[in-house]
Amino acid sequence: MSAAITSVSGSGPSAVSANRANHANRTRIKPGRIVYHVLVFAFALVMLYPIAWMVFSSFKPTNTVFSTAGQLIPTEWTLDNYVNGFKGFEESIPFYRYIGNSLFIAVTATIGTVFSSAIVAYALSRLHFKGRKVLFTAMMISMMLPAQVLMVPQYLWYQKLGWTDSYLPLIVPYCFAIQGFFIYLMMNFIEGIPRSLDEAAQIDGCSYYGIFARVIFPLLTPALVTGCIFSFMWRWDDFLGALLYVSDSAKLPVALALKMFADPSSSSDYGAMFAMASVSILPSVLIFLFFQKYLVEGVSTSGLKG
């Protein structure tokens, strides 16, 4: 009994000191971790400073935007740039019309992209048919081709179809799963869904279409939201596509309409341009903030195999 008491009493102080040492090791700030956080902060500062400069410049009087370019915070605040910006360049076309054009293009193209990519991903993941591997290989190769390679033949084709100066080239192709990235993203997600669910649905009498609509598609929510976020942001920011196919000033999307405020052949209103540019980034920022959870879940789970 005395030996046990001695053992316990002897181990008490040593255990406490060991716990203190472990706690000190855990709370000790390592130099490498400090360097890492400093580099991350510096990188974030470099990436965010141009956006912050643009936003703050939108509140400066337009004649002082560049004369006070080295000063981030305005000394004189004004909302005239936003008022003039929403009136449109030289008050020709209201800027909210361009916002509506971009929303129409981005939303319709995103819906077509997500649904068509989900269907193709389901077919390549679950169905067995001749040429499946060939189609998958062709899809992977298409992901490696830069979009600029196909611009000339696509333009000639759409011109023969009479689609120029319209939104059709910016919407219709995306309804046929032309972007391999989204197909590959959803294929990886579908591979993580147990095939036993398909078999159970088949026993209940579901066809392949029923399995997709009632089993696979409802479980694709994280991947679908991820695809919607990326597709919407890419279509919203699409400058080159609108430059090629849209020439009517009333049909311009936001990305191309901003250029009208900096017309070298006439007067330029950089304050209004920065104001409308600040407005144009709001949809992408808000979508990312509200659906960030689904974005992280979709990207992380798409790399898992069931």
Which CATH number characterizes residue 156's domain?
1.10.3720.10
Per residue in 182-224, pLDDT tens? 999 899 889 888 999 999 999 988 898 999 999 999 999 888 9
Of the candidates 169, 153, 165, the residue with the CA atom closest to the CA atom of residue 109 = 169
- Tally of domains in the chain: 2
Does one domain contain both 17 and 120? no
Does one domain contain both 8 and 144? no
53 within some domain: no
Does one domain contain both 33 and 147? no
Query: What's the whole-number average pLDDT of the chain?
Result: 84
Does one domain contain both 108 and 41? no
79 within some domain: no
* Cα distance between residue 45 and residue 62, in whole Å: 25
Does one domain contain both 135 and 6? no
- Comparing 78-82, 203-207, 248-252, 262-266, which segment has the lowest mean pLDDT? 262-266
Does one domain contain both 190 and 281? yes
Per residue in 125-156, pLDDT tens? 988 888 888 988 988 888 888 888 889 999 99
Is the separation of the CB atoms in 223 and 302 below 8 Å?
A: yes
* Cα distance between residue 16 and residue 22, in whole Å: 10
122 within some domain: yes
Global pTM value: 0.81
67 within some domain: no
Does one domain contain both 98 and 190? yes
pLDDT at 17 over 60: no
Does one domain contain both 93 and 238? yes
72 within some domain: no
Domain containing residue 7:
1-45
Buried b (16+ CB within 10 A) or exposed e, 235-274: bbebeebbebbbeeeebbbbbbbbebbeeeeeeebbbbbb
Is the separation of the CB atoms in 116 and 177 below 8 Å?
A: yes
Does one domain contain both 165 and 24? no
Does one domain contain both 95 and 21? no
pLDDT at 26 over 50: yes
Does one domain contain both 293 and 146? yes
71 within some domain: no
pLDDT at 169 over 50: yes
84 within some domain: no
Is the separation of the CB atoms in 165 and 245 below 8 Å?
A: yes
98 within some domain: yes
Does one domain contain both 225 and 101? yes
